[in-house]
Structure 1
Amino acid sequence: MSHNKIREDKTCLNCRHVVEQKFCPNCGQENSDSRKTFHHLFIHFFEDLTHYENAFWKTIRNLLFKPATLTKEYLSGKRLSYLAPVRLYIFISFITFLSLAMFPNKVNEKDISTEKTETNKEEAISNEKIDLGFKSMKEIDSIQKYGPEKEKLSAFEYWIYQKISTVTEHNTKDEILEKFIESFFHNIPKILFIIMPFFAFFLWLFHDKKRWYYFDHGIFTLHYFSFLLLIFLILFIIQKLIGLFGDESPISFISNITNFFGGLWMCYYFYPAHHRFYGESRIVSFVKSVTLFVINFIFILFLLIFYILYIFINLH
């Protein structure tokens, strides 16, 4: 609680509104003396930091272990005790991007080391070259110019084959797989961000339009995706930290255990969150949860196909 001296002047310094009490009824600013001692600044900083830490850890605890609690509290008007949904998602996304950037990129390290053995790499690429149905782009170009019409590729097919050929000429199968996995995990926050409005839209379709607004589904989605991103972040950090001890480390099994239970909790979490937030019977909630899970899985899979194609054609 603030102990700053109240100004004798009843005019708000921020909006010029008349302030009869301690706080301005128009903008909410405290009508206290703006000139403060170092002691006041220190106390104010400590109070803000303590409040933020309490709100942060309370938010994280509820997010991980009490599905839908944050959403219900936020929509009921209890908002100062927790981090706002958008701020929460942005914060977790920032930490995720930072963590992904901090850990070394094994693919890049491998590429640097293989620059010294370029001859061996070229031999490996030659031995593992992906079969496209044609021997080379020269043969494809020859068919495009002189071959029968039924054997010619469309403009899109030709572009795809050209991209695949370019990638396979400079990478082995293992390198393509490693680069794809690396790119996929580093872009998960972006993928989730793109999917969120569609996820909220599907929730809107399955629930009473008079009782629930799209905004309500959006808040539920922000909290749910914050949970997914946080679990991914925790599992990623655990895996990388344990990986520092080597693949043959006696504690390497911990990563497998956390991945299993983390993945299990991610899959199950949506059902209790849906049931508690929307207040429907367990059977109805279970049927809707499974249906929504399948619909969103198919939709996400559809988007991932395009995303995989995008990653593949941008490999180099």
Structure 2
Amino acid sequence: MKNREELTLGSLFYNTINNYLLWDSKFLKSFLPLMTKPGFLPKKFLQGKRLVYLHPAQFYLFVSVIFFFIFSFYIRETRASLDEAANKEINRFKDNDYSEIVEKIADTIKLDSVVKQNLKKQPKSRTASGTLFGTSYSYDEAVVDSLLNVGANQSVILKEMGMPEDAGYVKRKFYEQMLKFQKERGIGSMYQSITDTFPIAMFFLLPIFALLLKVFYFNKGKYAYHLVFSFYFFSFLFTVMAIDLGINRFYDISNWLDFFIFISTYFYLLIAIKRFYEQGWLLSFIKSSIITFIFMLFVIPSATLIITLVAFMLY
């Protein structure tokens, strides 16, 4: 006689489904209040009723996995579109007159006649310029393509791209990544690298949001209390975005309805803050508006900049 039930793939799958999707599961008992009763779940959790409803961190993790699974389809499609556009741009230069840049490159690195013939197979001059992460760049993409095709040393190419000889580690890494980006024409893969960091960013944005709540409601409990509220609120946001993306996947929702859904998340936050922190409507409106303003205009752009920088350096 077996004292323990034998673990099989079927039983493991059943237990997972039972924990989240059956009618008596904590998830479904928590899902309806989350969507229809703003502030209800965090309040009940702090009141000690933690066996009936799903733990806020578990709820957040489960919903975020669903959201990023749906979001991944859009990422792949966008990456494919970007790569296709980049390839079209490259092919546009294939049949042009290439003699304009030969002498410039030949004089730069003293190329022989054989290399000059190879250079004549390269496209016309086209300039890449701009400022990224505080570093300005401006160089001729066609020249760099030519140097790559003739096997020029990387240091020569980086110099042609404008990297100073006394460049430090960060600046050198910047130019090396720019070179890699042009070599691979990795617009799509660069986009993929950035979007792959979104889940990590959310784990930083959530505690920052909780910190803002702590600042505005410093006498309403420990930081952990505000973190509980943030877990449930972000679970609501991910749920709304997952539903919106899922519907748009099969039926294109009008822009005004998408905007209405976006705005509705603020009113959800307002009601949730009013009920959870038990303050008047006017004070709740002022505080929730300021928190939203700071989060949208400062926290998210700063996080996006850091994410893009990290993704670019690791690309």
> By the TM > 0.5 criterion, same fold?
yes
CA distance in 2, matches of 1:126, 1:62: 62
Q: Distance in 1 between matches of 2:125 and 2:240?
A: 40
Amino acid across the alignment from 2:198:
I
CA deviation map 1:177-232 (0-9, x unaligned): x55555555543332112222221222222244x4111211100100111111122
* Corresponding residue of 1:238: 247
Distance 1:141 1:240, change over 3 A: closer
Quote how far apart the aligned CAs of 1:144 are.
Answer: 3.1
Q: Which residue of 2 aligns with 1:245?
A: none
Q: Is the CA contact (8 Å cut-off) linking 1:97 and 1:186 kept in structure 2?
A: no
User: 1:154 & 1:35 partners in 2: Cα distance?
Assistant: 62
Query: 1:1-316 counterparts in 2 under 5 A?
Result: 49-52=22-25, 55-101=26-72, 105-107=76-78, 109=80, 120=91, 123=94, 130-131=128-129, 132-135=137-140, 137-140=157-160, 144-145=164-165, 153-171=167-185, 176=187, 183-185=193-195, 187-209=197-219, 211-242=220-251, 252=252, 254=253, 256-297=255-296, 298-315=298-315
Shift of 1:241: 2.4
Greater relative contact order (Cα < 8 A, sep 6+): 2
Report the alpha carbon displacement of residue 101 of structure 1 after superposing the two structures with TM. Answer: 4.6
* Identity between Structure 1 and Structure 2 (%): 24
- Label 1:130 to 1:237 Cα distance change in 2 as closer, same or farther (>3 A): farther
Letter paired with 2:278 = G
Q: 2: CA distance between counterparts of 1:208 and 1:167? A: 47
Residues 158 and 175 of structure 2 are in contact (CA less than 8 Å); yes or no, is this contact kept in structure 1? no
Opposite residue 219 of structure 1, the aligned amino acid is V
C-alpha displacement of 1:166: 2.6
Instruction: Out of 101-110 and 233-242, give the one that drifted further.
Output: 101-110
Change (3 A) 1:127 1:95: farther
Q: Is the 8 A contact 1:56 1:82 kept in 2?
A: yes
* Partners of 2:201 and 2:128 in 1: CA distance: 28
| Structure 1 unmatched runs, 5+ | 1-33, 146-151, 243-251
Q: So what's the TM-score if we normalise by structure 2? A: 0.65
Q: Number of residue pairs matched?
A: 253
Root-mean-square deviation (Å): 3.9
What TM-score does the superposition give when structure 1 sets the normalisation length?
A: 0.65
Structure 2 unmatched runs, 5+? 6-10, 96-122, 130-136, 145-156
